């Protein structure tokens, strides 16, 4: 099992969620996040002065899936979240040791 952690532009959430639902993703967690990539935030002009915004608002999506689903999920997120401009985000794939469904006590892939 793997956790796919995607940082995306907030306005892309609906599109990403719909695309993931279509390929059969059953659950996901979404949190508000702030961050920067290699441009280190960006510079904005406000009343004639330049302000550097260090942390831009992003959304973090977390999805745990069976290994067999990883490539499909990564591809689906990337396609739905892409605008082609800087700051589109990043996807991390992380190994998951175990999953426990609290209500039933099921463990492992069955619990996803």
**Scanning residues 33 to 52, which ones bind Mg ion (CB under 5 A)?**
37, 39
Q: Is residue 15 a contact partner of residue 8, using CB atoms and an 8 Å limit?
A: no
Residue in 86, 98, 105, 110 binding Mg ion, rule: CB under 5 A: 86
Name the residue with the smallest CB distance to Mg ion: 37
Q: How many other C-beta atoms can be found within 10 angstroms of the C-beta atom of residue 8? A: 25
Nearest to residue 89, comparing CAs of 34, 22, 24, 17?
34
**Scanning residues 37 to 96, which ones bind ligand ATP (CB under 6 A)?**
37-39, 56, 58, 86-90
The smaller minimum CB distance to Mg ion, of residues 60 and 72, is found at 60
């Amino acid at each position: 099992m793997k956790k796919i952690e995607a940082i995306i532009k907030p306005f892309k959430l609906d599109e990403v969620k719909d695309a993931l639902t279509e390929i059969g993703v059953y659950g996901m967690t979404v949190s508000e996040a702030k961050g920067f990539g290699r441009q280190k935030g960006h510079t904005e002009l406000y009343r004639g002065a330049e302000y550097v915004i260090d942390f831009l608002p992003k959304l973090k999506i977390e999805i745990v899936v069976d290994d067999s689903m990883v490539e499909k999920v990564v591809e689906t997120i990337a396609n739905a979240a892409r605008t082609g401009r800087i700051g589109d985000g990043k996807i991390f794939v992380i190994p998951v040791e175990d999953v426990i469904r609290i209500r039933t006590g099921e463990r492992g892939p069955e619990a996803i």
